């Protein structure tokens, strides 16, 4: 059995800056120097960012194990390799993304040039969350660098080993004037938010997202808010229940359910619930054996506070169909499925963000849609069906950040679609080209000549106004 060391959640500071005003000023001066604007500089920095990850894979695996007790294969898939892949694709496509865009122009502008200039915003603040502490920092940072910005990174203090490593490595690889890591917890982030930024990219909870939005409002700073929420799963009786259960449980058990787009709860009929439970018992046994705590493939919870919050949801032992074992010393909670859950139960009042799956029984897809629409807009929606009509029903009648049909989580890895929330699950999106666009101000430009002939043609706009002139 693995035992995780009890972490000391100390605030780590780089020790290089006197205060956050100083780091912002240094970064702003670097942006004003103009060096981040050249394509070659951006590509060079992105290559170094990728090199940073490639050179330090064992160190990152160790830090992620220390923070989350996570298996290195899961860390590669969701954090390290994922970020390397994203940066590599950004480098490959950057010249094309940066090129001047030449949109179609109206007839009246036939003699003019009309184009869109991709302008960096300036100084970007990236605030990360702890559940994928590499991915959630490196992917937005890559987008910000690609777009020509300077960046201040605030990793999550809740994953202290990874935050410390990021703070040590970034100055060793990236330009020391343009990119900075500012570590710390709530007080440090609060101080940072008093500063003026040109863009803020935040990943975290809806509650803190509101604080970020309010702080950004002071300077009308644009924001991307990558937040959370309760992502529902609907399963009907047309599916292969074993494949369905496998895909849902993988989304719920990876990283011990600490994923923003983890399936939060399941909506299905009583009959489907029965079949799902039978399939789930078999699958979980295949994956983790009879004693999940001994499996090296299963993560631990990030903090005692998080563990205590989740254990509270398991007080009513009568509705636990599978799992329910816990161990406070290891911050361990077994994959647990709750049946016939009442929508008023505490587990249905907030994002679970852990390995507990409540099932709420409904009679038909219309009831499921009403249930979803009576709550805040989720970050993800999952629909398992072989019926096209049912699929369309959900797509046309619900609103969510994204959707996966017949799978969970995997839409996150498709970089040709935007990833982001809507309503309380966030605003804005990123991944692939969408990251570049997020950190780019699209400057629309009209360029005209000063020759006399076209000036005569457009003279109708000048006073004195007359109907005769307009008729010509």
State the sign of the Cα–Cα–Cα–Cα dihedral 449, 450, 453, 454.
Answer: positive
Write down the least CB distance from residue 402 to ligand NAD, Å.
10
Q: How many helices (H) and strands (E) does the chain have?
A: 17, 17
Long-range contacts from 386-393, C-beta under 8 angstroms, 24+ separation: 386/238, 386/239, 387/236, 387/238, 390/236, 390/238, 390/365, 393/365, 393/366, 393/369
| Closer to ligand NAD by Cβ: residue 166 or 260 | 260
Residue 332 Cβ vs ligand NAD, minimum distance, rounded to whole Å: 19
DSSP reduced 3-state for 121: coil
Q: How far is the CB of 413 from ligand NAD (least distance, A)?
A: 13
Minimum distance of ligand NAD from residue 189's CB (angstroms) = 3
Structure tokens at 427: 């605003």
Between β-strands 123-127 and 336-338, what pairing exists: parallel, antiparallel or unpaired? unpaired
Q: Which is nearer to ligand NAD, 301 or 339 (by Cβ)?
A: 301
The DSSP code for 355 is S
Tell me the C-alpha distance between 402 and 289, whole Å.
33
Minimum CB–partner distance for residue 425 and ligand NAD (Å): 7
Give the E-state strand segments of 255-398 in sequence order: 263-268, 320-322, 326-327, 332-333, 336-338, 356-361, 380-384
d(CA 415, CA 437): 13
Cβ proximity to ligand NAD, 156 vs 440, nearer residue: 156
Q: Catalytic pick from 61, 157, 188, 226? A: 226
Q: Which is nearer to ligand NAD, 431 or 433 (CB)?
A: 431
Beta strand 426-427 pairing with 223-226: antiparallel
Question: Which residues form the interface with ligand NAD (CB under 6 A)?
Answer: 127-131, 136, 154, 156-158, 185-186, 189-190, 203-205, 208, 211, 226-228, 260, 351, 353, 379, 421, 426
Q: Which is nearer to ligand NAD, 215 or 241 (CB)?
A: 215
Query: How far lies 40's CA from each of 84, 255, 331, 434, in Å?
Result: 19, 37, 47, 21
Contact 157, 183 (CB under 8 A): yes
Q: What secondary structure, in 3-state letters, does 365-389 show?
A: HHHHHHHHHCCCCCCEEEEECCCHH
CB of 100 to ligand NAD, least distance (A): 31
Residue 99 makes CB contacts below 8 A (sequence gap 6+) with none
Rg (CA), the chain: 25
Minimum separation from the CB atom of position 143 to ligand NAD (A): 13
Provide the 3-class DSSP secondary structure of residue 269: coil
Comparison of 166 and 239: residue with beta carbon closer to ligand NAD: 166
- Residues β-bridged to residue 107: none
CB 126 within 8 A of CB 43: no
CA angle 99, 41, 419 (to 5 degrees): 60
Nearer to ligand NAD, 158 or 301 (CB): 158
Q: Strand, helix or coil at 312?
A: helix
Give residue for tokens 């505490």: 346
Query: Minimum distance between the CB of residue 260 and ligand NAD, rounded to whole angstroms?
Result: 3
Are the beta carbons of 234 and 368 closer than 8 angstroms? yes
Q: Considering beta carbons, is residue 148 or 418 the nearer one to ligand NAD?
A: 418
Between 131 and 299, name the residue whose CB sits nearer to ligand NAD: 131
**Among all residues, whose Cβ is closest to ligand NAD?**
228
Closest distance between ligand NAD and the C-beta of residue 111, in Å?
A: 46
Q: 226 catalytic, yes or no?
A: yes
Active centre residues (catalytic): 226
């Amino acid at each position: 059995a693995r035992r995780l060391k009890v972490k000391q959640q100390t605030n780590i500071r780089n020790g290089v800056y006197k205060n956050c005003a100083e780091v912002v000023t240094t970064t702003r001066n670097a942006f004003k120097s103009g060096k981040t604007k050249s394509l070659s500089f951006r590509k060079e920095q992105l290559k170094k960012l990728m090199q940073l990850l490639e050179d330090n894979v064992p160190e990152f695996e160790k830090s992620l194990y220390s923070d989350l007790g996570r298996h290195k294969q899961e860390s590669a898939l969701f954090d390290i390799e994922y970020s390397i892949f994203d940066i590599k694709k950004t480098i490959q496509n950057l010249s094309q993304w940066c090129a001047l865009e030449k949109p179609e122009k109206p007839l009246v502008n036939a003699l003019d040039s009309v184009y869109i200039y991709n302008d960096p915003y300036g100084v970007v603040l990236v605030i990360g969350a702890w559940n994928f502490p590499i991915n959630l920092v490196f992917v937005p940072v890559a987008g910000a660098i690609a777009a020509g910005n300077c960046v201040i990174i605030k990793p999550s203090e809740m994953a202290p080993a990874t935050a410390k490593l990021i703070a040590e490595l970034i100055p060793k690889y990236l330009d020391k004037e343009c990119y900075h890591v500012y570590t710390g917890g709530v007080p440090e982030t609060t101080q940072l938010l008093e500063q003026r930024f040109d863009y803020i990219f935040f990943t975290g909870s809806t509650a803190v997202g509101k604080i970020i939005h309010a702080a950004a409002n002071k300077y009308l700073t644009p924001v991307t808010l990558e937040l959370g929420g309760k992502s529902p799963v609907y399963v009907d009786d047309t599916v292969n229940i074993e494949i369905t259960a496998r895909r849902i449980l993988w989304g719920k058990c990876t990283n011990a359910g600490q994923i923003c787009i983890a399936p939060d709860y399941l909506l299905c009929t009583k009959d489907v619930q029965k079949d799902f439970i039978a399939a789930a018992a078999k699958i979980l046994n295949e994956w983790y054996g009879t004693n999940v705590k001994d499996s090296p493939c299963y993560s631990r919870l990030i903090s005692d506070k998080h563990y205590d919050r989740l254990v509270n949801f398991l007080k009513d032992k009568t509705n636990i169909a599978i799992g329910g074992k816990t161990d406070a010393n290891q911050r361990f909670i077994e994959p647990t499925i709750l049946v016939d859950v009442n929508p008023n139960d505490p587990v249905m009042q907030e994002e679970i963000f852990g390995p507990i799956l409540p099932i709420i029984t409904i009679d038909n897809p219309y009831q499921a849609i009403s249930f979803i629409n009576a709550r805040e807009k989720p970050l993800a929606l999952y629909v398992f069906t072989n019926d096209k009509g049912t699929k369309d029903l959900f797509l046309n009648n619900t609103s969510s950040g994204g959707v996966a049909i017949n799978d969970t989580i995997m839409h996150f890895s498709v970089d040709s679609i935007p990833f982001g929330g809507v309503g309380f699950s966030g605003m804005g999106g990123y991944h692939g080209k969408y990251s570049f666009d997020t950190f780019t101000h699209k400057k629309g430009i009209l360029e005209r000549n000063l020759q006399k002939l076209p000036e005569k043609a457009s003279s109708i706009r000048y006073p004195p106004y007359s109907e005769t002139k307009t008729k010509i």
